[in-house]
Structure 1
Amino acid sequence: MSAASSSARILINQLKKMQKEPVEGFTVELIDESDVYKWRYYIKGPTDTPYENGIYQGTIDFPEDYPFSPPTLTFTSEFWHPNVYTDGKVCISILHPPGEDEMSGERPEERWNPTQTPETILLSVISMLSDPNFSSPANVDASRKKANQELPPGFTMPEPFKFKPEPSTPLNADDEDFEFEIDEDDDIDLDEDVGDLDEEVIAEDEE
């Protein structure tokens, strides 16, 4: 089984689970149903922050060797935050490649590992909106603000509106219209795959 077909099946299962069991604060969908590696997300701004009531969207780009390598998460809505680059790319530790980084001071357990999921990533982003990391800024100008309550002149938060509802037709990997090709012989059990990944991570840590 190729790495691409394995990661595609994992992503399909994770997307279906997130649509079937939605978590308050965000929704996800495929940008193009023929490409399971590119997702769109919608995050509702957390309460008691400048982002409250705003709906912010962006993209998640997964590598073909997911979940061994982290995805890239980018805001496509205009965004002002110490941990978001000016191009919208999110900079948080769990999206950094596995291993220790002496320059940043991040410990291996703070960085990416294969047990992370799109759900845990988006929950971390929501946490980031409420509690920015000023010690490791991606946007230096934003980090100079004493608190995330201070916004640059001319920056206007989106007007509140109803949170985007769940897609009317959740993704089904068995649908005839689903165009992403996976070998018919591929039979992946998500729980078994993640269990195997956990064992590999533990084995690497013991070494």
Structure 2
Amino acid sequence: MGSQKRIAKELSELVESPPAGISVELADEANLYEWKVHMKGPEGSPYQGGVFLLKLSLPTAYPFKPPTVSFATKIYHPNVTNDEKGSMCLGMLRADEWKPSSKISAVLQFARQLLAEPMPDDAIEGRIAEQYRNDRQRYDEVAREWTRKHAAHQ
């Protein structure tokens, strides 16, 4: 069970020295494969001031298969589905782009970076991506509004 060892090691590294704006815990102490991630909206983004809960699920074949990351907190973002699943579209998490050497901390930092800089060309929510490209002011307003409404504030 090399994957459990690696996951435990990555978890303890993340708990001891988490990346900026991110904290991690097990969703259930008895299960190494399901994590809860609290992510602060990046400064200067419309998500600033919000704290988003993400779910990270690791496959038993980790690190040879990528984790899945989803937002439990509703978020207005072109790269996150607008449904109750909150699936996040991250290039590095696609099976064909995932590298076993990638670490969970890098995944989480990339996810947080995506809040600051959405990738409308890689969007799951086409309508939001279009608005992001064509009416940034309105996009920022709605994203801020959703952040106020759904993301717990510190």
TM-score interval, normalised by the smaller of the two chains = 0.7 to 0.9
Correspondences of 1:1-207 after superposition (within 5 Å): 5-86=1-82, 87-98=85-96, 111-145=97-131, 146=133, 147=136, 148-151=139-142, 155-157=146-148, 158=151, 160-161=153-154
1:22 CA drift (Å): 2.2
Could you tell me which amino acid in structure 2 is paired with residue 139 of structure 1? E
1:69 CA drift (Å): 0.6
TM-score (norm 2): 0.87
Structure 2 gaps, min length 5: none
- Deviations for 1:4-31, whole angstroms, at most 9, x for unmatched residues? x211111001101111122221000001
Cα RMSD (Å): 1.7
The alignment-based identity, stated in percent, is 27
Structure 1 gaps, min length 5: 99-110, 162-207
Q: Which stretches of structure 1, 4 residues or longer, exceed 6 Å deviation after superposition?
A: none
Give the Cα–Cα distance (whole angstroms) in 2 for the partners of residues 155 and 27 of structure 1: 22
1:156 CA drift (Å): 4.9
Could you tell me which amino acid in structure 2 is paired with residue 56 of structure 1? F
**Bigger radius of gyration:** 1
Could you tell me which amino acid in structure 1 is paired with residue 146 of structure 2? F
TM-score (norm 1): 0.66
Give the Cα–Cα distance (whole angstroms) in 1 for the partners of residues 152 and 6 of structure 2: 36
Give the Cα–Cα distance (whole angstroms) in 2 for the partners of residues 9 and 68 of structure 1: 14
Q: Which has the higher helix share?
A: 2
Helix, strand or coil at the partner of 2:65: coil
Deviates more, 1:58-67 or 1:137-146: 137-146
Helix, strand or coil at the partner of 1:28: strand
Helix, strand or coil at the partner of 1:13: helix
Count of aligned positions: 145
1:97 CA drift (Å): 0.6
Q: Is the 8 A contact 2:38 2:52 kept in 1?
A: yes
Give the Cα–Cα distance (whole angstroms) in 1 for the partners of residues 152 and 30 of structure 2: 33
Could you tell me which amino acid in structure 1 is paired with residue 89 of structure 2? C
